[in-house]
């Protein structure tokens, strides 16, 4: 009798566990396997993948799509990296917008929407991130997947006790062995993130990239925010872009990439290639530790009463008010920052001009909404790439 009672309870517990496992498993699998639809814009001349530049990545989780927009006219070559950290969605949206809208009149633009695709297939454990977010456009609603800061442990496991950065030997946090912005310049036989950075360095060499812009977002509790971080060879351009944007469009600072802080794009790309690197940051309250409910609304509106309260107490490095930091504002900032850097690159490098048109500036994105600039993937002439 006692045995029957014991196994009845155990049976119920097993059933409940099974249901939880199935429901959770379906949710995780849906997120991991979801593909975003990218409509190739008028400027796209080729679509390659990162595996074309470093074959061990071919067909793997980080064989990212590489969109080439080549004018056919001689000029500079700019590489724009979106979603080095996929939990910073204004970066992938900006890169997505470039692919669908940009036209290159002189030089070549190379865009990667998901620079660390593995990290875009997982969200941060324990932080209750939404799996997806949705952007309204003229033709309907476009769905995107939310990601994490680090590559998916399903693709890169286990982490070391301490991550020793290559080649500097600097000791970094263990999980940053999966962080694309701590593993530059990468190595061929390293972790997935290190191999991905290594592949990007080969891409930079092979395509003759002249400058790199790595897009990011940051919490308002973090001091490096609302700014352009520049390698020492990129300071003139970053300073001019910062001053001009601040005078004409929005406040943005400029910081010099620290010499002794290794693994970051703005330090290592510049040190290990001919291409000076810039890192652009926008404010994203969703990432603040003091935030309230972590949902799609916070991700898209950037409105949070707890972050605002922290601001009132002087605990933040960037202002926030009841308007928050909406996704349109954040994407608009990145669009204008990219355009401004390209303009000043051309001003300082007359023999290698880089002229990009068709990309909305800050005021356009804020006025019309980012969704206005995404094409309908169901359109008759739409050439769609799954991302």
Partner 1 sequence: MAVMVLYYVITALFTVILVRNFIKTRDVQKGILYLAVLMPFVLRLFRLK
Rule CB under 8 A: which residues touch partner 1?
Answer: 6, 9-10, 13-14, 17, 20-21, 24-25, 28-29, 32, 122, 154, 157-158
Nearest to partner 1 of 9, 206 (CB atom): 9
Q: Compute the C-alpha angle 118/123/125, nearest 5°.
A: 120
Q: Identify which of residues 31 and 266 has a Cβ nearer to partner 1 in the complex.
A: 31
Question: Which lies closer to partner 1 via its Cβ, residue 156 or residue 336?
Answer: 156
Q: What are all long-range contacts of 56-61, with beta carbons under 8 Å and residues at least 24 apart?
A: 56/188, 56/195, 57/195, 57/196, 57/199, 60/155, 60/192, 61/117, 61/118, 61/121, 61/151, 61/152, 61/155, 61/192
Q: Which is nearer to partner 1, 10 or 35 (CB)?
A: 10
Identity of the residue, 20 or 367, whose beta carbon is nearer to partner 1 in the bound complex: 20
Cβ proximity to partner 1, 21 vs 347, nearer residue: 21
- Contacts of range 128-135, beta carbons closer than 8 Å, 24 or more positions apart: 128/294, 129/87, 129/294, 130/294, 130/295, 130/296, 130/299, 131/27, 131/30, 131/31, 132/31, 132/34, 132/296, 133/89, 133/296, 133/299, 133/300, 134/296, 135/93, 135/300, 135/327, 135/370, 135/371, 135/374
How far lies 11's CA from each of 3, 14, 15, 229, in Å? 12, 5, 6, 58
State how far Cα 157 lies from the chain centre: 22
Minimal distance in Å, beta carbon 152 to partner 1? Answer: 9
Q: Which is nearer to partner 1, 156 or 346 (CB)?
A: 156
Provide the minimum distance between the beta carbon of 154 and partner 1 in the complex, in angstroms, as a whole number. Answer: 5
Q: How far is the CB of 158 from partner 1 (least distance, A)?
A: 5
Shortest distance, position 14 Cβ to partner 1, whole Å: 7
Nearer to partner 1 (CB atom), residue 14 or residue 46: 14
Min dist. Cβ of residue 114 to partner 1 (A):
20
Residue 226 to residue 216: CA distance in whole angstroms: 10
The CB-of-230 to partner 1 minimum distance in angstroms stands at 37
| Nearest partner of 124 among 263, 287, 284, judged by Cα | 287
Q: Output 12 or 363, the one with its CB closest to partner 1.
A: 12
Q: Shortest distance, CB of residue 9 to partner 1, whole angstroms?
A: 5
By the 8 A CB rule, do 96 and 113 touch?
Answer: yes
Per-residue DSSP letters for 343-371?
HHHHHH-TTS--EEES---HHHHHHH-GG
CB 50 within 8 A of CB 196: yes
- Considering the complex, what minimum distance in angstroms separates the CB of residue 6 from partner 1? 6
Report the residue number, 28 or 250, with the smaller CB distance to partner 1. 28
Supply the minimum distance, in Å, between the C-beta of residue 55 and partner 1. Answer: 16
DSSP state of 80: E
Could you tell me the smallest distance in angstroms from the CB atom of residue 381 to partner 1? 38
The H-or-E segment that residue 110 falls in is strand 108-112
Instruction: Classify 202 in phi/psi space as left (phi over 0), alpha (psi -120 to 50) or beta.
Output: alpha
Q: Note whether 97 and 331 are within 8 A (CB).
A: yes
């Amino acid at each position: 009798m006692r045995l029957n009672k014991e196994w009845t309870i155990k049976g119920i517990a097993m059933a409940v566990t099974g249901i939880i496992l199935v429901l959770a498993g379906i949710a995780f699998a849906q997120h991991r396997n979801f593909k975003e639809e990218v409509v190739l814009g008028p400027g796209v001349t080729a679509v390659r993948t990162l595996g074309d530049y470093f074959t061990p990545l071919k067909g793997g989780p980080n064989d990212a799509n590489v969109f080439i927009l080549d004018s056919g006219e001689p000029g500079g070559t700019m590489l724009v990296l979106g979603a080095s950290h996929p939990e910073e969605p204004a970066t992938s949206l900006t890169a997505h917008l470039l692919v669908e809208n940009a036209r290159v009149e002189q030089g070549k633009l190379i865009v990667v929407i998901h620079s660390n695709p593995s990290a875009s297939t997982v969200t941060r454990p324990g932080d209750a991130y939404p799996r997806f977010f949705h952007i309204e456009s003229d033709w309907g609603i476009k769905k995107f997947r939310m990601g994490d800061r680090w590559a998916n442990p399903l693709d890169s496991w286990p982490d070391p006790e301490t991550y020793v950065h290559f080649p500097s030997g600097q000791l970094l946090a263990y999980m940053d062995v999966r962080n694309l912005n701590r593993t530059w310049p990468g190595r061929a036989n390293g972790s997935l993130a290190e191999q991905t950075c290594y592949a990007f360095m080969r891409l930079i060499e092979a395509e003759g990239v002249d400058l790199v812009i790595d897009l990011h977002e940051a919490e308002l509790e973090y001091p490096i925010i609302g700014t352009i971080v520049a390698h020492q060879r990129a300071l003139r351009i970053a300073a001019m872009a910062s001053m001009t944007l601040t005078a004409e469009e929005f406040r943005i600072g400029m910081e010099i990439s620290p010499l002794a802080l290794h693994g970051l794009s703005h330090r290592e790309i510049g040190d290990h290639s001919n291409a000076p690197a810039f890192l652009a940051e926008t404010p994203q309250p969703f990432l603040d530790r003091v935030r309230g409910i972590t949902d799609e609304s916070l991700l898209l509106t950037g409105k949070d009463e707890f972050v605002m309260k922290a601001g009132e107490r002087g605990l933040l490095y960037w202002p926030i008010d009841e308007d928050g930091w909406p996704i349109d504002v954040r994407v608009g900032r990145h669009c204008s920052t990219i355009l401004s850097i390209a303009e000043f690159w051309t001003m300082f490098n007359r023999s290698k001009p880089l002229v990009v048109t068709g990309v909305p500036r800050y005021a356009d994105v804020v006025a019309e909404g980012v969704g206005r600039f995404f094409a309908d993937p169901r359109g008759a002439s739409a050439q769609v790439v799954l991302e």
